[in-house]
Copies of this chain bind each other. A is one copy, B any other.
Amino acid sequence: MPYPLDVRPLFHPALEDTTVEGILYALSDPVRVAIYADIASQQCTQNCSSFLTVSDPPVPKSTLSQHFRILRENGLVRAERHGVEMRFAPRCAEIETRFPGLIPAILNAHRIESGEKVAKKSRMSPKSSGRR
């Protein structure tokens, strides 16, 4: 008889237990902020492995797992086991009620910076005109 699936308690902090420094720490890593920006912008939840290639070279699975744990334990995402895979949903709306404007400002800053990187890359790319 199939018993309930693995329901080991995945710890999620209560909203009021989240801290600014925890949030800033979690998002101060380039891989984690990229993951979070992606999760936060998607309407649908995503699984772990879809993020193996957020970075080049690809992030090892074990490292990715740690990154997700840090995002979860600092209150940034909600994780749910779905069969063999894990799905993540952002907790932006909740955090917004506790620390208004914080997450939007960070995501906005991240967008600005990402835009710069893309611009720099395309300037350096052999496909671009380079200095004319």
Contact = CB atoms under 8 A, between A and B. Distances in A.
Q: How many copies does the complex hold?
A: 2
Interface in A57-95: none
Given A24-B24, A24-B27, A19 B113 contact: yes
A110 interface: yes
A25 interface: yes
Interface of A is mostly: helix
Contacts of A99: 105, 108-109, 112
Chain A's interface size range is 20 to 34
Contacts of A105: 99-102, 104-106
Give the most central of A20, A23, A25, A33: most B CB within 10 Å. A20
Contacts of A27: 20-21, 24
